[in-house]
Structure 1
Amino acid sequence: MEKKNLAGVGLGLRREMLDQLLPEIPDAVDFWEVAPENWIPMGGRFQKNLQQFTTTQNFVSHGLSLSIGSPDPLDVDFVKQVKTFLDQHDILYYSEHLSYCSGQGHMYDLMPIPFTEEAVKHVVNRVQQVQDIIERPLLLENVSYYAAPGQEMSEQEFTLSVLQESGCLMLLDINNIYVNSINHQYDAEAFLAAMPSNKIVYGHIAGHFDEADDLKVDTHGADVIEPVWQLLQKAYEIHGVFPTLLERDFNIPPIRELLLEVEKIRQIQQLFDKSQQPQRQFV
């Protein structure tokens, strides 16, 4: 497979999938996603196997521990390691969560950034630091959250402010919009429509856990449910078809089952006339 521009349907790559994927990498997947933190410390066979992938396949990178909203100083050494990883594997796009996971130590979870003007300015400054180091655009993902401490603006207003003021791009997570719309009782389609089309590089879709009728937990450990598929179709209606990746982080079924959901993304994309899709120019 010859590398090309990011398009089509993607799948998150986990180390436990390697034995099912090599040496015959399925051509049903147009691009793959890796978390740098899961591969940077690995050597030997794992690095060799990853290199087999990245030399022939399209890849994006989705980080776990940048902690863009943390009150702690930016971990510059870590960002430099990410830059080396991206260069080594010829990966253009590096995305992270619009949240934080450190504060006087690592928290091992994604914490909500307070929706305040002060927090917007803090995140914008750190985004610019990161982009200067990695020499690439940073993509920020709208995240699921379960509390909003110190809230002075809505999630929508906060997200738009960070995107506009920092100059970064966006990873649009469809399941997170659905989960938050239930947990925080807002209109998922209205939130979706407010996002800037010219910032969306690619999207995520995933499953979640139903803790209760009014409490959904973003787990990436289950099949995608029908309302989330419907929201993905609505996203394409509003923003045009964008590359979309299936996330599955645990309870990972055999690859043939994952590819069924990959194919469902493609089927939804094919409902739309490519000749009418806008050319994406990221700003």
Structure 2
Amino acid sequence: MNPQPLHTGLGLRRGLLPELLSMQPGAVDFLECAPENWIGVGGVFGQGLAQLAERFAIACHGLSLSLGGTAPLDLDFLGQTRQFLDRHQVRLYSEHLSYCSDDGHLYDLMPIPFTEQAVRHVAARIRQAQDVLGRRIAVENISYYAAPYQAMSELDFIRAVLDEADCDLLLDVNNVFVNACNHGYDAEAFLAGIPRARVVGMHVAGHYDEAEDLKVDTHGAPVKEAVWQLFAQACQRFGVQPTVLERDFNYPPLDELLAETAHIRVLQQSHGAPCHA
């Protein structure tokens, strides 16, 4: 018996745990969590996760693997992550195409230089992570506000990493919109340049309009209409992929979040052809 398809999901945050536990079956297809925030967690939070995992499929989106970093990958953490993914039968695990450590955790997602050397470096680390985890992973295009060095475009860098590592892409549509505004490129052309076969999931989220040419990726507000329009175009190109609504703070009532996840489903059904997801 094949598992149910993962189409529409919501981020599993501790601040939302009571509301998520009250959700009716079928309100969303799956929940997405950061495994490092839940590995080894017991008590009320651990019980809440266990209850949700019985009712909803779980996807995982990591925060601290630091694929672009220079320190060796944390093999103990990767082992714990593999156990977590196996325990919860996770079908989609993704991480950020960034680094977040340098002699300690930086608590931010820092951009990688867009160079051939960086492509080879991060791709080797992705391959190592996939070997230890025993599964393919997807990397996410991040939002960034200054680039350390650009010998190639963001799009060319992402394409090169996907090819060199032979991994998948979690397409964050809001990050495409934010970066296009902040760095002056065409968001639709960016989507057109992403290989269809690499995309295995998507994210949508809210951002803050600091200025016409400065958007800040906050995950703390409703999704804006321009991002919904770009998501519709992404559905046209990549089909119906597992898509998560990310909300990290300023939590509204659950009904408002579920209205946004319902809008994801509407756009998927009206613009996207079914995919293998």
**TM-score when normalising by structure 1:** 0.93
Q: Is the partner of 1:270 in helix, strand or coil? A: helix
Q: Is the 8 A contact 1:141 1:172 kept in 2?
A: yes
Aligned-pair identity in percent equals: 55
Task: Note the C-alpha offset of 1:279.
Answer: 4.1
Whether 1:27 and 2:26 are equivalent positions in the alignment is yes
RMSD over equivalenced CA pairs, Å: 1.7
Residue of structure 1 in register with 2:16 after alignment: 17
> Which ranges in structure 1 are unaligned for 5 or more consecutive residues?
none
- Post-superposition CA distance 1:202-239 (Å, at most 9, x none): 10000011122111111100010111000001111222
Which structure 2 residues correspond to residues 83-102 of structure 1 after superposition, within 5 A? 83-102=82-101
Whether 1:111 and 2:107 are equivalent positions in the alignment is no
Q: Is the partner of 2:270 in helix, strand or coil? A: coil
Task: Note the C-alpha offset of 1:93.
Answer: 1.8
Residue of structure 2 in register with 1:280 after alignment: 276
**TM-score when normalising by structure 2:** 0.95
Q: Is the partner of 1:55 in helix, strand or coil? A: helix
- State the number of aligned residues: 277
Residue of structure 2 in register with 1:124 after alignment: 123
- Counterpart residue type for residue 280 of structure 1: H
- Counterpart residue type for residue 136 of structure 1: R
CA–CA separation in structure 1 for the residues paired with 2:35 and 2:2:
20
Q: Is the partner of 1:11 in helix, strand or coil? A: strand
Q: 1:126 to 1:226 in 2, by over 3 A?
A: same
CA–CA separation in structure 2 for the residues paired with 1:23 and 1:240:
31
Task: Note the C-alpha offset of 1:44.
Answer: 2.1
Residue of structure 1 in register with 2:202 after alignment: 203
Residue of structure 2 in register with 1:185 after alignment: 184
Q: 1:62 to 1:72 in 2, by over 3 A?
A: same
Q: Is the 8 A contact 2:205 2:247 kept in 1?
A: yes
Q: 1:245 to 1:268 in 2, by over 3 A?
A: same
Q: Is the 8 A contact 2:232 2:271 kept in 1?
A: no
CA–CA separation in structure 1 for the residues paired with 2:7 and 2:61:
17
- Post-superposition CA distance 1:166-224 (Å, at most 9, x none): 01111010000000000000000000111111111110000011122111111100010
Which structure 2 residues correspond to residues 144-159 of structure 1 after superposition, within 5 A? 144-159=143-158
CA–CA separation in structure 1 for the residues paired with 2:141 and 2:184:
16
